[in-house]
């Protein structure tokens, strides 16, 4: 018999072409979203001696089929689960969760064995019985807690608590001179198996503590516990303190190394950035220099343009080609000041100038 789970009850086939969440449609039976509220209880589960039972009603056990179909609200299926529950952990909580979800309407009763029975049949515990009772009381899946639960379930105990089924993992539990203390429960058809959570158990937790004893002893010494409280000798106490100092020095050195590495890394990143920026600026400078002073740079064009303007400024203007040409008059002779003699003339012009004694400057030239 496998206990039904919520995932199995809500299992459905997803459709990729659907319009709902994850490709589901209305035909997939997706339950509507529920408002956010707290499902946990506000008070711990009561003890069995604090709960009143109406013995006027006859005790009639329900069958497995009736329990699976669902019972009335006033008649839940009474499931019993027992254990030591030392160092209460998630494996214990998962087992109780499975027991609570065996049937649609379940009332979970949890029995916790006393220190006397546990020390006699199993061994010494880390937590005392009151601490273990309190831990189970505060599990949300528990409805009732039985203190000083029996090691072997008797018919009288089952009838007293009106138990319908007993939940436990299916592995045979050999103890108290029996190969399986739940053998008679299985033969009576009252056994409902649960699954163990692998990787977590009370023995595993104790093994971790024993394996790392020095670590936890140093931890508690650092937190203020005395060597006497931890049952640590004087020599070990000094050794633990010395190890603590060495570890602190190692941690400081490691922190300095990490910080130095970070600093060197930042310097390298900054240097790379500076080199890249310098390369970009140098390329930009070289480009600007070539644009100004290169073979086809702006400076050459400016010099050419300035030279052209200078030549244009010092050169005479030519007459327009369309203007009519006139015969150029001979160059006039110039009268020397304060002299009646005419200036010397060239041989070519001597015959021309013989008829005239003097050459007067024209009116235009005098103006």
The pLDDT score that the predictor gives to residue 343 is 53
Confidence class for position 347, pLDDT limits 50, 70, 90: low
Residue 107, pLDDT above cutoff 80: yes
pLDDT at 264: 86
Output the furthest CA–CA distance in the chain (Å, rounded): 179
pLDDT band at 110 (very low <50, low <70, confident <90, very high): very high
More confident residue, 355 or 321: 321
Res 195: pLDDT: 93
pTM, full prediction: 0.59
Give the SS3 label for residue 168: strand
Question: Do you know the residue count of the chain?
Answer: 367
Count Cβ atoms within 10 A of the Cβ of residue 160 and give its class: 0-12 exposed, 13-18 middle, 19 or more buried.
middle
At residue 358, the pLDDT reads: 47
Positions of CATH 3.40.50.620 in the chain: 48-188
Contact between residue 240 and residue 214 where contact means Cβ atoms under 8 Å apart: yes
For 360: left if phi > 0, alpha if psi spans -120 to 50, otherwise beta; the answer is beta
pLDDT at position 11, please? 39
Helices (H), 40-168: 64-69, 90-100, 115-121, 129-137, 155-160
CA distance 92 to 96: 6
Which tokens sit at 71? 């019972």
Average per-residue pLDDT for the chain: 79
pLDDT higher than 90, residue 281: no
Closest Cα to residue 86, out of 223, 209, 193, 194? Answer: 209
Name the least confident of 96-105, 172-181, 322-331.
Answer: 322-331
Total H helices, total E strands in the chain? 13, 5
Tokens of residue 216, six digits: 């936890």
76, pLDDT greater than 70: yes
Lowest mean pLDDT among 4-18, 93-107, 154-168, 333-347: 4-18
Asked whether the predicted pLDDT for residue 301 surpasses 90, the reply is no
Write the pLDDT tens digit of every residue in 126-152.
Answer: 999 999 999 999 999 999 999 999 999
pLDDT of the residue at 329: 52
DSSP characters over 170-189 = SS---BTTBS-TTHHHHHTT
189-230 tens-digit pLDDT? 999 999 999 989 999 999 999 999 888 888 888 888 998 888
Q: Looking at residue 137, what is its pLDDT?
A: 96
Number of Cβ within 10 Å of residue 27's Cβ equals 11
| CB-CB neighbours of 176 under 10 Å | 12
Among candidates 80, 56, 224, which has minimal Cα distance to 157?
A: 80
Question: Residues 236-249: what's their mean pLDDT?
Answer: 84
pLDDT at 30 (0 to 100) = 53
**What local confidence, expressed as pLDDT, does residue 337 receive?**
52
48-188: CATH architecture: 3-Layer(aba) Sandwich (3.40)
Question: What is the per-residue pLDDT across 255-269, written as a single tens digit (0 to 9) for each?
Answer: 888 888 888 888 888
Place of tokens 């711990």: 44
Contacts of 134 (CB under 8 A, 6+ apart): 44
pLDDT (0 to 100) of residue 207 = 93
pLDDT at residue 29 in the model: 54
Token duo for residue 245? 């100092």
pLDDT > 90 in the chain, percent: 39
Q: What is the CA radius of gyration of the chain?
A: 57
Confidence of residue 320 (pLDDT cuts 50, 70, 90): low
Distance between CA 123 and CA 202 in Å, rounded? 12
């Amino acid at each position: 018999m496998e206990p039904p789970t919520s995932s199995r009850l809500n299992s459905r086939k997803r459709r990729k072409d659907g319009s709902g969440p994850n490709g589901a449609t209305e035909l997939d039976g997706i339950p509507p979203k529920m408002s956010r509220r707290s499902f946990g209880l506000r008070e711990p589960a009561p003890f069995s001696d604090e709960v009143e039972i109406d013995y006027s009603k006859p005790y009639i056990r329900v069958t497995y089929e009736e329990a699976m179909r669902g019972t009335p609200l006033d008649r839940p299926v009474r499931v019993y689960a027992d254990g030591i529950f030392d160092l209460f952990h998630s494996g214990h909580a998962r087992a109780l969760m499975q027991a609570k979800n065996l049937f649609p309407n379940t009332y979970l009763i949890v029995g916790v064995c006393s220190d006397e029975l546990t020390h006699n049949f199993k061994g010494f515990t880390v937590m005392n019985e009151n601490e273990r009772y309190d831990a189970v009381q505060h599990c949300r899946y528990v409805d009732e807690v039985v203190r000083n639960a029996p090691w072997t379930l008797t018919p009288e105990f089952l009838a007293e608590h009106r138990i319908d089924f007993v939940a436990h993992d299916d592995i045979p539990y050999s103890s108290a001179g029996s190969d399986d203390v739940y053998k008679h429960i299985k033969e009576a058809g009252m056994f409902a198996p649960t699954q163990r959570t692998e990787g977590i158990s009370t023995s595993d937790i104790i093994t971790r503590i024993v394996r790392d004893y020095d670590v936890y002893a140093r931890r508690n010494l650092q937190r203020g516990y005395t060597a006497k409280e931890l049952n640590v000798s004087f020599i070990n106490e000094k050794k633990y303190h010395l190890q603590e100092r060495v570890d602190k020095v190692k941690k400081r050195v490691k922190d300095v190394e990490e910080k130095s590495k970070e600093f060197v890394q930042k310097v390298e990143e900054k240097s790379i950035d500076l080199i890249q920026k310098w390369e970009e600026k140098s390329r930009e400078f070289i480009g600007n220099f070539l644009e100004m002073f290169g073979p086809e740079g702006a400076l050459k064009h400016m010099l050419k343009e300035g030279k052209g303007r200078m030549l244009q400024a010092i050169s005479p203007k030519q007459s327009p080609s369309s203007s009519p040409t006139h015969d150029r008059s001979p160059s006039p002779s110039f009268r020397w000041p304060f002299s009646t003699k005419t200036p010397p003339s060239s041989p070519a012009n001597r015959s021309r100038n013989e008829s005239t004694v003097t050459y007067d400057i024209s009116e235009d030239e005098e103006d």
